[in-house]
C-alpha cells in the first residue's frame, strides 16, 4: 500500500466519523441548555447539591474547631505485687471545620478520645452529623 493510499483511507475514516460526534440541539440557543441542563448545574433535577441545599441549607461559613491538647492519666505496667501507678501523657485531639448553613451545622467525621476505665482510653471516630439551629 502506498503512502498516498494510506492517507486517503485515513482521511475517509475521519470524514465518516466526524458527523457521529456532533451533538443534537443548538448550543447557541440558551433555552436548550435550560431545558436539558448538565447534572452539576444547580437547576438540574438530579443534582446532589440541590438535594443537600434543600435539606441542609446553603453554606454560610466554615467554623474552625482548634485541636485540643488533653492530659490523660495512663496506667503504668508493673510486675505483680507492686502497687498500681499512673503516668501523665499529653495527647492532641485533631481539629476540624464545621460548616454553618442557613438551617444548622454540619459536623464532619472526626476523631475524639473516649475514656473506657481508669487509665484506659480509646480513639473513637465520630460519624458526620447535622444539627439544626
| Domain-located, residue 69 | yes
Phi, psi of 14 (to 5 degrees): -65, -40
Across 21-32, b (16+ Cβ under 10 Å) vs e yields eeeeeeeeeeee
| Domain-located, residue 40 | yes
129 & 81 share domain: yes
**Of the residues 8, 37, 56, which one is the last residue of a structural domain?**
56
| Domain-located, residue 32 | yes
pLDDT at 93: 95
pLDDT at 68: 96
Instruction: Tell me the pLDDT of the chain (133 aa) as tens digits.
Output: 565 665 566 556 555 544 444 455 555 665 555 566 666 665 566 665 655 566 778 888 999 999 999 999 888 888 888 888 888 999 999 999 999 988 999 999 999 999 998 888 999 999 999 999 8
Q: How many domains does the chain have?
A: 2
Q: What is the dihedral of CA 4, 6, 12, 13, to 10 degrees?
A: -160
3-state secondary structure of 41: coil
pLDDT at 30: 56
65 & 41 share domain: no
71 & 115 share domain: yes
104 & 49 share domain: no
Partners of 100 in beta bridges: 61, 105
95 & 52 share domain: no
Domain region containing 45: 24-56
3-state secondary structure of 76: strand
DSSP line for 90-108: EEEEPPEEEEEESSEEEEP
Cα–Cα dist 54/99, whole Å = 15
| Domain-located, residue 1 | no
| Domain-located, residue 103 | yes
| Domain-located, residue 12 | no
Q: What is the pTM of this model?
A: 0.55
Amino acid at each position: 500500500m502506498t503512502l498516498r493510499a494510506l492517507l486517503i483511507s485515513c482521511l475517509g475514516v475521519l470524514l465518516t466519523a466526524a458527523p457521529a460526534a456532533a451533538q443534537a440541539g443548538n448550543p447557541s440557543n440558551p433555552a436548550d441548555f435550560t431545558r436539558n441542563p448538565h447534572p452539576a448545574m444547580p437547576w438540574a433535577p438530579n443534582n446532589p447539591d440541590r438535594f443537600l441545599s434543600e435539606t441542609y441549607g446553603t453554606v454560610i461559613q466554615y467554623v474552625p474547631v482548634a485541636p485540643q491538647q488533653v492530659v490523660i492519666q495512663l496506667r503504668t505496667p508493673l510486675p505483680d505485687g507492686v502497687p498500681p501507678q499512673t503516668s501523665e501523657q499529653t495527647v492532641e485531639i485533631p481539629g476540624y471545620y464545621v460548616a454553618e448553613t442557613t438551617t444548622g451545622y454540619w459536623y464532619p467525621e472526626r476523631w475524639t478520645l473516649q475514656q473506657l476505665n481508669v487509665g484506659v482510653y480509646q480513639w473513637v471516630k465520630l460519624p458526620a452529623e447535622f444539627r439544626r439551629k
